[in-house]
């Protein structure tokens, strides 16, 4: 393999890093091999007194070594605060004598046979700091100018990959946040590709589909059990799929799907997922199907209701029962209290919330954020 081929391979691995299960594991291993290092470490989030941080390691790094650094030795590390985005060695920054005399070297590095250290502190535009450290044992040669030159050429690519990883991580956090919110609202979600095949489902959708009560999966596609409902559902899906290629059109349709069990119909909304201006490739989200089971009781946190409306725990427990559609008598039985106690709780709730009717109370409960506070 030529030097150019080897360099290209390292760059490729660096840009693959953000997509790996353990970010940059392959590229760090390749750098360790290329630089004849015993360890290569990428500190993605430096340790602080309040945060143990996060680092990715290549080499035979024990869990004990990682924990020891993250909880204790990071505070003794003198090889920090390096010139931004520059490759330097520990001997250039500290000098050999000072390095050998440091408590960090004696107590932490020497036991793991780390003597030569080359590294860089990477600073991103959003204020994050990452640290690259390449380590060699005392028996090895010092890092050469060629070693440092290679790392200098790799460093801008690593920095750009770190920035991309931050964007991906932020997007994933937002996705999980919104997906979790949809789950709490008990909305089943099915994402379809441009051919109408199922790409993804959430937990609420999985539960409904497992029942095969009104909807089912056939050949990786969504179908309604009743023939007439299925014809209409497929028409809506087809329309949504045709709308995803038009940048100014987002098709939204709805259908009520009957269930063989006799339970209330499932409410279905089908909408297109517009293709972005720079979208590429196949098997991308093209349409989404949202569904709700009207008979399913939305979970609610008694503590959240209590805090939102400044009511007692007993009153909050009653409010949950009423929001789930129970009558006063049914709520009294479910809570194992008398009807008179229920009526007293209800009067107190009315007084504290400013409503005068049970239906109005249920409305404000269902329109509030109580379900979003459920864990």
* DSSP per-residue codes, 216-254: EEETTEEEESSHHHHHHHHHHHHHHHHHTT-TT---EEE
Position 22 pLDDT exceeds 90: yes
pTM, two decimals, is 0.76
Q: How far apart are CA 290 and CA 267, in angstroms?
A: 8
For position 248, what pLDDT does the model report? 47
3-174 matches 185-292 in fold: yes
The fold of the 302-373 domain, in CATH, is Arc Repressor Mutant, subunit A (1.10.10)
Q: How far is CA 204 from CA 226, 229, 279, 296, in A?
A: 21, 21, 28, 11
Specify whether the backbone of 220 is left (phi greater than 0), alpha (psi in -120 to 50) or beta: left
Position 372 pLDDT exceeds 70: yes
Domain ranges of the chain: 3-174, 185-292, 302-373
The fold of the 3-174 domain, in CATH, is Beta-Lactamase (3.30.450)
Name the average pLDDT for the chain.
Answer: 90
Provide CATH code, domain 185-292.
3.30.450.20
With bands split at pLDDT 50, 70 and 90, how would you rate the model's confidence at 367? confident
Q: Where are the beta strands (DSSP E) in 103-251?
A: 116-123, 129-136, 188-192, 198-201, 215-218, 221-224
For position 281, what pLDDT does the model report? 59
Backbone CA torsion sign across 288, 232, 217, 180: positive
- Helix or strand run (H / E) with residue 42: strand 39-45
Residue 252 CB coordination number (10 Å): 14
pLDDT, tens digit, 9 for 90 and up, residues 62-88: 899 999 999 999 999 999 999 999 999
pLDDT, tens digit, 9 for 90 and up, residues 217-272: 999 999 999 999 999 999 999 998 887 555 445 557 899 999 999 999 999 999 99
With bands split at pLDDT 50, 70 and 90, how would you rate the model's confidence at 2? confident
Q: Which of 160, 14, 135, 26 is nearest to 85 (CA)?
A: 160
Q: What is the mean pLDDT of residues 85-101?
A: 95
Q: Which of 201, 229, 374 is nearest to 291 (CA)?
A: 201
pLDDT, tens digit, 9 for 90 and up, residues 110-161: 999 999 999 999 999 988 899 999 999 999 999 999 999 999 999 999 999 9
For position 247, what pLDDT does the model report? 47
């Amino acid at each position: 393999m030529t030097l150019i081929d080897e360099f290209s391979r390292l760059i490729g691995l660096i840009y693959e890093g953000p997509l790996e299960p353990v970010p940059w594991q392959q590229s760090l291993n390749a750098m360790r091999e290329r630089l004849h290092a015993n360890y290569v470490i990428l500190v993605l989030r430096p340790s602080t007194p309040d945060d143990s941080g996060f680092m990715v390691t290549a080499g035979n790094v024990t869990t004990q070594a990682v924990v020891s650094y993250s909880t204790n030795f990071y505070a003794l590390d003198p090889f920090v605060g390096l010139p931004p985005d520059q490759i330097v060695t520990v001997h250039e920054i500290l000098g050999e004598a000072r390095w050998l005399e440091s408590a960090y070297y004696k107590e932490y590095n020497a036991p793991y046979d780390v003597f030569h250290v080359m590294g860089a502190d990477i600073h991103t535009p959003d204020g994050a700091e990452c640290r690259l450290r390449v380590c060699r044992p005392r028996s090895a040669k010092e890092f050469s100018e060629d070693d440092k030159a290679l790392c200098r050429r790799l460093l801008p690519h690593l920095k750009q990959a770190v920035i991309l990883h931050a964007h991906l991580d932020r997007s994933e956090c937002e996705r999980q946040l919104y997906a979790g919110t949809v789950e709490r609202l008990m909305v089943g979600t099915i994402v379809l590709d441009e051919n109408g095949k199922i790409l993804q489902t959430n937990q609420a959708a999985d539960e409904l589909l497992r029942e095969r009560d009104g909807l089912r999966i056939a050949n990786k596609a969504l179908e309604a059990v009743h023939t007439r409902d299925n014809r209409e559902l497929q028409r809506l899906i087809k329309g949504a799929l045709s709308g995803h290629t038009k940048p100014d059109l987002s098709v939204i349709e709805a259908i009520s799907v009957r269930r063989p069990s006799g339970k209330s119909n499932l409410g279905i909304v089908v909408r297109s997922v517009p293709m972005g201006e720079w979208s590429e490739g196949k098997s991308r989200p093209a349409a989404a199907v949202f569904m709700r089971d009207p008979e399913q009781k939305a979970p609610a946190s008694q503590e959240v209701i209590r805090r939102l409306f400044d009511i007692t725990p007993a009153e909050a427990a009653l409010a949950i029962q009423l929001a789930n559609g129970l009558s006063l008598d049914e709520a009294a039985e479910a809570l194992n209290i008398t009807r008179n106690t229920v009526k007293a709780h209800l009067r107190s709730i009315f007084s504290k919330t400013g409503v005068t009717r049970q239906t109005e109370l249920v409305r404000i409960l269902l329109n509030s954020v109580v379900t979003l506070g459920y864990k």
